[in-house]
């Protein structure tokens, strides 16, 4: 690890849920797969 690195990070979406009713529609894994497919098709 380098100076300033943290051991654990994670997103806390509780404030977004409370304020605007945010609710993810897909899992993180699904989102990554979709992004990779999009990237392969659109970035050259």
Q: What is the pLDDT of residue 10?
A: 85
Confirm whether pTM is higher than 0.85.
Answer: no
Q: Count of alpha carbons within 13 Å of 8, Cβ hemisphere only? A: 1
Residue 36 to residue 12: CA distance in whole angstroms: 24
If you ran DSSP here, which 8-state letter would residue 4 be given? Answer: T
Residue-wise pLDDT for 10-38, tens only, equals 889 999 999 999 999 999 999 999 999 99
**What residue ranges do the domains of the chain occupy?**
1-44
């Amino acid at each position: 690890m380098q100076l300033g690195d943290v051991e654990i990070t994670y997103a806390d979406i509780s404030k977004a849920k409370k304020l605007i009713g945010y609710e993810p529609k897909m899992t993180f894994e699904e989102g990554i797969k979709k992004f990779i497919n999009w990237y392969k098709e659109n970035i050259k």
